Amino acid sequence: MNKAIRLIVAILVLGLLSSASLPQAQRQRNRQSKDQSAPLPDLVRRDAHLVMISIDGLIPEYYTEPAKVGLKVPNLTMMKLGGAFADGVEGIYPSVTYPAHTTLITGARPAVHGIYQNRIFESPTEPKTGEWFWFSKDLKCETLWSAARAAELSTGSVGWPVTVGAAIDYNVPEIFDPNDPKSPARALANSTPGLIAKALAETPSGDSSTDARRTAISEYIITTYKPNLMLVHLIALDDAHHKYGPRSPEALATAETMDGYIGRIIAAVRNAGILDKTTFFLVSDHGFMSVDKRFEPGVILAKEKLITVDGSGKATAWKAAVWNNSGSCSVILHDPDDKETAAKVIAVFRKLAEKPGGPIYRMLTRTELDKLGAVPGAVLMLDAAPGFSIGDEITGPEIHEGPRDYRGTHGQLPSRSEMRSSLIIYGELARVGTRLGLAQMVDIGPTAGVVLGVALPGAQGAAIRSLLKADAAIPLLPKEKKKS
C-alpha cells in the first residue's frame, strides 16, 4: 500500500471514529441538516410536573395587595414572593368560565377552540335544558392534556371545564344536573371508574363542600400517580362573588378558604416527592363587577316583534334571540341570512347603546367580534354598563332591580379592568422576583407547554419567557422557532 492510499484510509478511519464519538443529539442534528424532512428533536421534559390550579373568579388584587382588602392569604403570598406573577391578565370575550378555561389550556380564543359561552344556545321556543359545554368532543384544537398524551406524559384533572370524555388518565370532570346542581351523579358517571371513591376514602375530611372534595381528590391523584400534568378547578369564590359581590366580607372569607386548599395541594406535591420538579400555575378565568340592576334585552326583542309571545308569556316564534352571559349577551338570528332582521336588531340596540346612562356599555358588531375571536354565530353582542347584569326575560320591564342574592357578575369585555384575571407561576421553572404588568390569557397555555416541552399547534398566543427561568435551558418549541 503506497503512502497516498495509507493517508486516505487513515482519514476515513478517523472520520468514522469521530462520528461514532459524537453525542446522539449532535448526530441527530447532523442528520437533520442533511434531511430537512427528519423529525424535530424530542423536546419533552419527561421528569417535569405542571400543576395548574384555577381559582374561579379570583381577582388580581387578592394576591397583589391582600392587606389593602383585609385578606390573609399566606399561600398566595408565598407563591407570589417566591415566584413570578402578573398584576393582571387580559382574557377573552365573553369573559366567562368555560371559554376562558379552554383558552387557558389551548392558547386559543373561542372562535378557534370552539367553546363560545358557558351554556349551549337554546331556542326561546323550546324547553330549556340549561346544559353547558361539558363535552371534550366540542373542542376544535389541541389542549395541554392531548399534547401531553401524545408525548406519553401522564395527566390528571379535577373539575376542569369541558373534560367529559377527555383522554385524561385520572379524570373527574365538571358536569352537573342543571335541575339539581348539588347532585354528584353525573360527575360520578363520567369520571375515571372508581377514582372518586378511592380518593375520598384515602383522604377523609369533615368538610363536605365541593371544593374540599375536589382538593381531596387532587391530593390523592398527585400523591398516588404523580401525573406530569395536573389541572384543578375550584369554584366557591366565584359563587361568593356572584351572591355577595367582589370584596364583600363573605367573598374575602371564601378567598382565605381557597388559600388553604392551595396550601394542601402544594403539600401533596411535596409529599409525593416531586416538589423540586414541579412548576405551579395559579390562574383564574375572569374578574368581577358589582351589580344591582338588571337589563332584559329579550323584552326589547319581543316589543319589536322579533320574538312572538303568547298570552301566558311563552315564546311561540322568533327571528332573533338572546344568548346570555350575565355581563354580556349575544344576539342570535333564527335565519343567519336574514339581513332585514339583522339590520333592525343593530339599529334598535345601537340607539339604546348611545343613550347616556343606559344599560349598555357598548354594542359590538360582527366585525368587532371577529377581531376578538368571539361567538361566530352572533349578529352582535351587548356589553352591560357598570352596575348592570343581563337577564333572560322576554316579558316585563326592560330594566329593573337585580336579585338581592346576585351582587356580582362577569362576562364583559376583557379590556375592562374589572374583568382582569390572575396569574402566578411558582416552583421549578418560575423566574423568582419577576413581575409583569399585564399578561394575555392566550399566552398562558403556550407558557405551560414550555414547562412540559410540548407544543399547542392551535395556539394564538406565545410563551411568556420573561416569567420562566432564563437558565432553564429549555429549547424553543417548533412554533416559537417559526415565529422568531
Q: What DSSP line would sit under 372-397, residue for residue? A: HT--TTEEEEEEEPTEEEE---SSS-
> Could you check whether the bond before residue 94 is cis, i.e. omega within 30 degrees of 0?
yes
Short-list 168, 152, 149, CA closest to 160: 168
Task: Please give the pLDDT value at position 167.
Answer: 98
The values of phi and psi at residue 64, to 5°, are: -75, -35
Walking along the chain (484 residues) 10 residues at a time, the average pLDDT comes out as 41 34 34 37 87 98 97 98 98 98 98 98 96 98 97 98 98 96 94 96 84 97 98 98 98 98 98 98 98 98 97 97 98 98 98 95 98 98 98 98 97 98 98 98 97 95 94 54 45
- Residue pair 347/320 in contact (Cβ under 8 Å)? The answer is no
Name every residue whose Cβ is closer than 8 Å to that of residue 351 and which is 6 or more positions away in sequence.
none
Written in H, E and C, the secondary structure of 321-360 is EEEECCCEEEEEECCCCCHHHHHHHHHHHHHHHCCCCCCE
380: left (phi over 0), alpha (psi -120 to 50) or beta: beta
User: Using CA atoms, how far apart are residues 438 and 416, in angstroms rounded to an integer?
Assistant: 13
Q: Indicate the length of the chain as a whole number.
A: 484
CA distances 204 to 197, 212, 214, 261, 279, Å, are 11, 10, 12, 14, 27
Task: Please give the pLDDT value at position 80.
Answer: 98
